[in-house]
Amino acid sequence: MPLLDRDHSVLIVVDAQPGFSGADVASRKAATRSRAVAAWLVAVAAALEIPIVATEENPAKNGPTDPSIAANLPPATPVFDKAEFGLAGVPEIVAAVESTGRRTAVLLGAETDVCVAQSAIGLRDRGFRVAVVGDATFSPGAMHAHGLDRMRDAGIEIHHAKGVYYEWLRTVAAARAFVAAHPSLADPPGFGL
C-alpha cells in the first residue's frame, strides 16, 4: 500500500463519545488514552487543512463528541447524528465525505468492533481507500483487538497516529516547519518523541 497522502485524505471521527467508554476502570483508561490520541490527530488534520467529518450515535444517551476532540474540530466541521452502526448507510454522511473530493478515508473513534468496523467496510465497499487509526479507536476489553482483526481481514489498513502524522508530513523539512508553526502538536500523547 502506498503512503497516506494528506491531499487525498478525509478524517472521519466516528462516535467519539463518552457513552462509549466501557464500564470497568481499565476500559475507561483505554478510552481516555484513545481519545487523547484522537484529539491530537484531529488537531493535526485541522492544522493541515485536511477535511474532517464527525458522527455521533444517539447523543442524547451517549453524549456529544468528547470535548477534547470537539475543541479541535474546525468550526465548519459537519457533525451528523448517525442512526446506523455503519456511516456508509446514511446518505447525508456519505454525501459529506464524498463532497470533500478525497478518496482516502482515515477513521478514528468508537467502537472499534462495531461502528468503526462497519463504517470502514462500508466505505471500502464504496470504493474508498480506508485507513483506521488503531490507537485512536476504542472498544472495551478484547473487542478492540477483535475489531482491528476483523477490519484487517476485510482489507482495511490499520495505522497508528504517529505513522499517519509522518505520512501526512512526508519530509524532515515539512515536519520541522509544522512543529515550528504548531509546537503543541509535535508529538502524539504518550510518545514523547
78 within some domain: yes
Summarize the confidence of residues 35-52 as an average pLDDT: 98
193 within some domain: no
1 within some domain: no
pLDDT of residue 193: 41
CB 29 within 8 A of CB 77: no
How many C-beta atoms surround the C-beta of residue 148 within 10 A?
Answer: 20
**91 φ, ψ (degrees, to nearest 5):** -55, -40
CA distance 35 to 99: 26
Summarize the confidence of residues 79-92 as an average pLDDT: 97
pLDDT of residue 188: 83
pLDDT of residue 129: 98
Number of domains in the chain: 1
pLDDT of residue 94: 98
191 within some domain: no
146 within some domain: yes
Q: What is the 3-state secondary structure (H, E, C) of the chain?
A: CCCCCHHHEEEEEECCCCCCCCCCHHHHHHHHHHHHHHHHHHHHHHHCCCCEEEEECCHHHHCCCCHHHHCCCCCCCCEEECCCCCHHHCHHHHHHHHHCCCCEEEEEEECHHHHHHHHHHHHHHCCCEEEEEEEEEECCCCHHHHHHHHHHHCCCEEECHHHHHHHHHCCHHHHHHHHHHCHHHCCCCCCCC
42: nearest Cα among 17, 19, 73: 73
Q: pLDDT per residue over 7-42, tens digit each? A: 999 999 999 999 988 888 888 899 899 999 999 999
pTM for the full predicted model: 0.96
Q: Does residue 111 carry a pLDDT above 80?
A: yes
pLDDT of residue 149: 98
190 within some domain: no
pLDDT of residue 191: 64
Summarize the confidence of residues 88-105 as an average pLDDT: 98
95 within some domain: yes
Instruction: Please give the residue range of the domain that contains residue 120.
Output: 6-185
Residue 31's CATH number: 3.40.50.850
Residue 35 makes CB contacts below 8 A (sequence gap 6+) with 16, 66, 68, 69, 138
Query: Model confidence at 189, in pLDDT bands (50, 70, 90)?
Result: confident
Residue 151, all three cell numbers: 477490519
98 within some domain: yes
